[in-house]
Amino acid sequence: MTPAPLAARLSIPSGPLFFPVTAYRADGSLDLDVYRTHVRRGVEAGAAAVFACCGTGEFHALTPEEFASCVRAAVEAVDGRVPVVAGAGYGTALAVRYARLAEAAGADGLLALPPYLVVAGQEGLLRHYREIAAATDLPVIVYQRDNAVFTPDTVVALARTDGVIGFKDGVGDLDLMQRVVSAVRTEVPGGFLYFNGLPTAEQTQLAYRGIGITLYSSAVFCFLPDLALAFHRALATGDDTTAHRLLDGFYRPFVELRAQGRGYAVSLVKAGVRMTGLDVGEVRPPLYEPTEDHVRQLALLIERGHALLEEDR
């Protein structure tokens, strides 16, 4: 797949962008059968794309061999119905290796995660992502977060880089993002893509929509796809009344619960998937499982989410 078709397929998604969790057995090994089921169910529920082995999928916890197996399993489960975008990260040499493994496994694109540990200058970051983009024929989305934060000028340079099709923000600085969007719009006319990549992005998506960013990741889709779809439809149709009702009734309390533990953006989502009928196992260390009380609170929130959907019927 060339960059243009992937960008076109992602630009106006028919549903949420799905970031599946990675399934493990009780002994901690990969459970690819359950993973395929999880991915397949997400696509059948209405996902517009599958982002495999990214943050929610515990990219950091996978060996290269496990990563390749998971991406291949996602491609098999999707069976061409929607694009599969795979994570790629760590230092430049390893990120290039993961990019090539993803290409060999059949992925349609890459989400380039921040480099490992170091806080680099803009010139170094630009070189890092350009080397990832040059390593394969896969189109690349650059993920801004943690130790990889970009100036508008650097994003302009990325937008001019062959193979880089988009920019995902996990920082939440709307002033910076407005300047980034304006600079790229001025300097690089065309269809460069932007994504809201904050945890539980629905919580901030109305604000991102205000600066023209309509694409966002949805971890809630992993365990409450109908609710995530309802929110996505509300945004797409300008139904802010429904969006506000879902935010007030589910998303805000979920975000407040997520804030009770470090790493809950992954482990709480995984608990939700288990709670709704698919045993995807626990998270790998250094992440940890939610407490029993937090799991009980999550169960009540899931019930509340279903009740909110019933109110629409």
pLDDT, tens only, 277-301: 999 999 999 999 999 999 999 999 9
Give the SS3 label for residue 97.
Answer: helix
Q: Report d(CA 128, CA 114) in Å as an integer.
A: 10
Model confidence band, residue 2 (pLDDT cutoffs 50, 70, 90): very low
Q: What angle do CA 211, 42, 288 make, to 5 degrees?
A: 85
Token pair 């009380």 is found at 293
DSSP H helices, 79-121, are: 92-104
What tens digit of pLDDT does each residue of 160-192 get? Answer: 999 999 999 999 999 999 999 999 999 998 889
Task: Say if CB 129 and CB 161 are below 8 A apart.
Answer: yes
Instruction: Classify residue 261 by its DSSP letter.
Output: S
Q: Report d(CA 102, CA 138) in Å as an integer.
A: 9
Cα Dmax for the chain: 53
- Residue 12 has a pLDDT of 82
- Give the chain's domains with CATH numbers: 3-236 (3.20.20.70)
- Residue 311 has a pLDDT of 85
pLDDT at 129 over 90: yes
Token pair 């139904």 is found at 239
DSSP percent split of the chain into helix, strand, coil, nearest 5: 55, 10, 35
Task: Say if CB 232 and CB 28 are below 8 A apart.
Answer: no
Instruction: Classify residue 138 by its DSSP letter.
Output: S
Q: Count Cβ atoms within 10 A of the Cβ of residue 37 and give its class: 0-12 exposed, 13-18 middle, 19 or more buried.
A: middle
Distant-in-sequence, close-in-space partners of 254: CB < 8 Å, separation ≥ 6: 200, 220, 298, 301
Residues in the chain: 313
What tens digit of pLDDT does each residue of 62-115 get? Answer: 999 999 999 999 999 999 999 999 999 999 999 999 999 999 999 999 999 999
- Burial profile 215-252: b = 16 or more Cβ within 10 angstroms, e = fewer: bbbbbbbbbbbebbbbbbebbeeeeeebbebbbebbbe
102 alpha-carbon distance from chain centroid: 16
Task: Say if CB 49 and CB 249 are below 8 A apart.
Answer: no
What is the Cα gyration radius of the chain? Answer: 18
CA nearest 6: which of 215, 172, 176, 246? 215
- Sort strands 193-196 and 164-169 into parallel, antiparallel or unpaired: parallel
Catalytic residue among 35, 143, 194, 264: 143
Catalytic residue among 168, 194, 216, 251: 168
Known active-site residue 98: no
pLDDT at 5 over 90: no
- Residue 3 has a pLDDT of 54
Q: What is the pTM of this model?
A: 0.95
Q: Please give the average per-residue pLDDT across 188-213, as a whole number.
A: 95
Known active-site residue 143: yes
- Residue 312 has a pLDDT of 72
pLDDT at 42 over 80: yes
Q: Which long-range contacts (CB under 8 A, 24 or more apart) does 106-109 make?
A: 106/71, 106/72, 106/75, 107/52, 107/71, 107/75, 107/138, 108/1, 108/6, 108/83, 108/84, 108/138, 108/139, 109/1, 109/6, 109/83, 109/84, 109/85, 109/138, 109/139, 109/140, 109/141, 109/165
pLDDT at 4 over 50: yes
What tens digit of pLDDT does each residue of 217-267 get? Answer: 999 999 999 999 999 999 999 999 999 999 999 999 999 999 999 999 999
- Residue 256 has a pLDDT of 98
